[in-house]
């Protein structure tokens, strides 16, 4: 079973309280909605206390071009991504696995555009082998992080000596549309944030991570599922000024009715029941999404405590968020043989599920 040997995260430089962002939204949206005070409750009800952004809040008070925002995306994604890789596998001079032994980099993002893609730019900053395979994945949104783990699993199953990095960089704040006074943009303003995360995945025949005495999660199985004809549930609408959020109010209902059969199928094929799952490593799309998870799967609310904690301190960082949740699980009191389900949902509408088991 491929091993998740390390997970690290990097927070962007500007930390804002939810009260600060709510006041910003009030000033921007109050002329568009006569019931602005009622709508602003979405900031209070979401149970988010703080978030991180690459730019200070003053920067968002003016209209910005798509070009300006995307140039910032490339710059911050490259530098923060390189920082996170060094945090994950170590600086080049004392890394616990040499950079030239990284066989592939999966780069996950949906919040900016870059060609060449970001991992190529990072490879010019850090001493990777020029033969390292590059697999940029764009457009999976919130499901992208879990999907990156799944594709790394596939790669390491095919090449068991491999060491693979999964790097997620989501700078959601740079997609903010100053002149979009829709309710979707208001909800997005209350929820989304910036985050950077990296994981090292190692095949069965790799030496990396095996010498550690601490328990680590091994990936046992994965399942990807697409809900047919559901493109309007979540995603981007591309316009002249950039990316506009598509965020259906029906997402919690879709989760309640559609997710449970997927999880049941996944558990059945692994000859497991929900009662045998010790940990639920859920991407916290929002308070209502976490509630929908527990409703659909019959889970006690305590199973989502770590996801709720990440949502409270960091908001929804799209694909990067599930890395933050997994890192907290890896730092918690787990037992050898514990089983966990990693779950994330994204545009498509789609789900990504992984079964992990803790071991040495």
Report the distance separating Cα 286 and Cα 298, nearest Å: 18
Report the distance separating Cα 296 and Cα 291, nearest Å: 9
Report the distance separating Cα 319 and Cα 339, nearest Å: 22
- Here the tokens at position 177 are 């549309």
Cα angle 141, 236, 315; round to 5:
50
Instruction: Find the helix or strand (DSSP H, E) in which 236 lies.
Output: strand 234-239
Strands 194-202 and 339-346: unpaired
131: number of Cβ within 10 Å? 7
- Here the tokens at position 270 are 């692994």
Report the distance separating Cα 175 and Cα 223, nearest Å: 30
Instruction: Find the helix or strand (DSSP H, E) in which 166 lies.
Output: strand 163-171
Taking a C-beta distance cutoff of 8 angstroms, is the pair 52, 11 a contact?
yes
Coarse DSSP helix, strand, coil percentages of the chain, rounded to the nearest 5 percent: 40, 25, 30
- Here the tokens at position 189 are 């303003």
CA dihedral angle for residue 326, residue 332, residue 336, residue 339, rounded to 10 degrees: -40
**Widest Cα–Cα separation across the chain:** 62
Residue 66 phi/psi, 5-degree rounding, is: -60, -40
For residue 142, indicate whether it is catalytic.
Answer: yes
Region of residue 99 (phi > 0: left; psi between -120 and 50: alpha; otherwise: beta):
alpha
Of 123, 126, 69, the closest CA to residue 92 belongs to 126
Estimate the crossing angle of helix 183-191 against helix 18-29, to 10 degrees.
160
Among 142, 156, 172, 202, which one carries the catalytic annotation?
Answer: 142
The length of the chain is 360
Any idea which residues carry the catalytic annotation?
142
């Amino acid at each position: 079973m491929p091993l998740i040997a390390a997970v690290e995260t990097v927070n962007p430089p500007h930390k804002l309280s939810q009260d600060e962002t709510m006041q910003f939204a009030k000033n921007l949206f109050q002329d568009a909605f006569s019931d602005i005070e009622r709508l602003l409750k979405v900031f209070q009800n979401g149970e988010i206390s703080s978030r991180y952004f690459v730019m200070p809040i003053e920067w968002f008070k003016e209209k910005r071009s798509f070009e300006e925002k995307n140039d910032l995306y490339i710059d911050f994604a490259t530098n923060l991504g390189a920082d996170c890789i060094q945090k994950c596998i170590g600086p080049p001079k004392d890394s616990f696995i040499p950079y030239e032994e990284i066989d592939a980099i999966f780069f996950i993002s949906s919040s900016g555009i870059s060609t060449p893609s970001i991992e190529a730019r990072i490879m010019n900053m850090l001493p990777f082998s020029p033969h390292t395979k590059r697999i940029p994945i764009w457009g999976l949104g919130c499901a992208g992080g879990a999907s990156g783990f799944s594709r790394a699993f596939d790669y390491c199953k095919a090449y068991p000596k491999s060491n693979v990095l999964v790097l997620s960089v989501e700078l959601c704040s740079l997609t903010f549309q100053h002149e979009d006074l829709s309710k979707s943009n208001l909800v997005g303003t209350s929820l989304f944030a910036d985050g950077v995360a990296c994981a090292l995945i190692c095949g069965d025949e790799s030496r990396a991570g095996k010498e550690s005495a601490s328990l680590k999660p091994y990936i046992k199985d994965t399942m990807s599922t697409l809900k047919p004809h559901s493109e309007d549930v979540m995603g981007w609408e591309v316009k002249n000024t950039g990316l506009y959020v598509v965020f259906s109010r029906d997402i919690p209902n879709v989760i309640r009715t559609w997710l449970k059969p997927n999880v049941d199928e996944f558990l059945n094929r692994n000859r497991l029941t929900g009662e045998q799952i010790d940990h639920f490593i859920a991407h916290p799309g929002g308070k209502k999404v976490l509630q929908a998870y527990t409703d659909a799967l019959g889970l006690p609310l305590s199973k989502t405590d770590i996801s709720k904690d990440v949502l409270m301190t960091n908001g929804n960082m799209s694909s990067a968020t599930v890395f933050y949740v997994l890192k907290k699980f890896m730092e918690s009191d787990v037992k050898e043989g514990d089983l966990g389900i990693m779950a994330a949902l994204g545009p498509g509408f789609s789900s990504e599920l992984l079964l992990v088991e803790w071991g040495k």
